[in-house]
Amino acid sequence: MGKLMALILLGAGLALVGERFLTLRERMNAYREVESVESQNCHLIEGIENGSEDIDILPSGLAFISNGLKYPGMPDLAPDEPGRIFLMDLNEQNPRVQELNIGDGFDKASFNPHGMSTFIDKDQTVYLYVVNHPHMDSTVEIFKFEEQQRSLVYLKTIKHELLKSVNDIVVLGPEQFYATRDHYFTNFFLVLLELFMDLRWTQVLFYSPKEVKVVARGFSSANGITISLDKKYIYVADVSDKNIHVMKIHDNWDLTQLKVIQLDTLVDNLTVDPDTGDILAGCHPNAIKLLMYNTEDPPGSEALRIRNALSEKPMISTMYANNGSVLQGSSVASVYRGKLLIGTVFHKALYCEL
């Protein structure tokens, strides 16, 4: 009887593992092959070779580009190089990137930039907030941008016990932001278990000097985050659930979910078109190819535009798609006056004229 019970339990356990494995492959779009949607007016940006994970464009047309992310489970083409921030002036006829010098007082050797967000003060001073993973920890670094010197002045590092596994942020005011937490656990093996079991324990956090709290929860893996042009709504990408959550901002900074926009691709970072308010999404058509990197069969790239996000039937169109022959592992898409930038987790970056 004992042997029979053991066999039953073993069979049930194997069945659960098999079901979870098949479900995970489906969630990761393991069998999807992307169909190319490309323009002749696109070219790779010279000088960016090992990632451009997030891009934030100022109203003036100056684009900040993060570079050199080292993230567990992701390919890393330059493991010995620290992260950097590049600047690109989209007002130029032939824009080029320039590395921004980071001033004294900041540990540049351990710089590992992830998501970014800018804030412009009343006196027009520009501040750049960067999610950083020094030694695989999570902090938020605050810099002041010196436009004439093309440099960043280090101001402050923000750490908090709730700010773990931070992926992206959107700044609301001085030292005030929403942040996504893409994993509940920080141990790599527990992260794998979390992904395998789809625990849905990840969150959106609100941070201010006076209060830090969870304002939304229940995501499979909360990733990119941005804010609507009218500052009334927050858009949150759930990368492994392949959707975008539209959330209303309350006076106390809590968030209420209004709707979910379901997609057929894994959504990474989000930006908003400053002219139309459309959501732009950098996406992974097949995440298995990203997690199990093979130069002979690389991960593709996909950039989507979502129009009328608050309507019953948002309009979804593909701005760019490639099978990895040109651009691998797209993570963000951002526009400025007819110019499109597409960044990647670990690869290159693309410039297009629409």
Residue range 186-192: average pLDDT?
88
Tell me the binding residues. 53-54, 167-168, 223, 268-269
Question: Per residue in 19-73, pLDDT tens?
Answer: 665 777 888 898 899 988 998 899 999 999 999 999 999 999 999 999 999 998 8
Report the percentage of the chain scoring pLDDT > 90.
83
The contacts of residue 214 (CB under 8 Å, 6+ apart) are 162, 203, 204, 205, 206
User: Is 245 labeled as catalytic in the residue annotation?
Assistant: no
Q: Determine how β-strand 222-227 pairs with β-strand 233-238.
A: antiparallel
User: Which has the closest alpha carbon to 320: 330, 309, 312?
Assistant: 330
Q: Of how many residues is the chain composed?
A: 354
What residues are designated binding site for Ca(2+)? 53-54, 167-168, 223, 268-269
Q: What mean pLDDT, rounded, does the chain reach?
A: 93
**Predicted TM-score of the model (pTM):** 0.94
Catalytic residue, chosen from 43, 114, 160, 250, is 114
Give the closest residue to 85 by CA, choosing from 43, 169, 157, 142. 142
Give yes or no for a contact between 271 and 333, defined as CB atoms under 8 angstroms apart.
Answer: yes
Task: Kindly state the DSSP code that residue 26 receives in the 8-state scheme.
Answer: H
User: What per-residue confidence (pLDDT) applies to 78?
Assistant: 87
Q: What number is the average pLDDT over the span 226-253?
A: 98
Distance of CA 154 to the CA centre of its chain: 23
For tokens 């597409």, the residue is: 342
For 233-284, the DSSP string reads EEEEEEGGGTEEEEEEEPTTS-EEEEEEEE-SSEEEEEEE-TTT--EEEEEE
The answer, yes or no, to whether residue 200 has pLDDT greater than 60, is: yes
- CA-CA distance, 131 to 1, in Å (whole number)? 56
- List alpha helices for 148-262, DSSP H: 188-197
Question: So what's the pLDDT on residue 19?
Answer: 64
Q: What pLDDT sits at residue 26?
A: 85
73 backbone φψ class: left, alpha, beta (φ>0; ψ -120 to 50) = left
Domains of the chain: 32-100+173-353 (2.120.10.30)
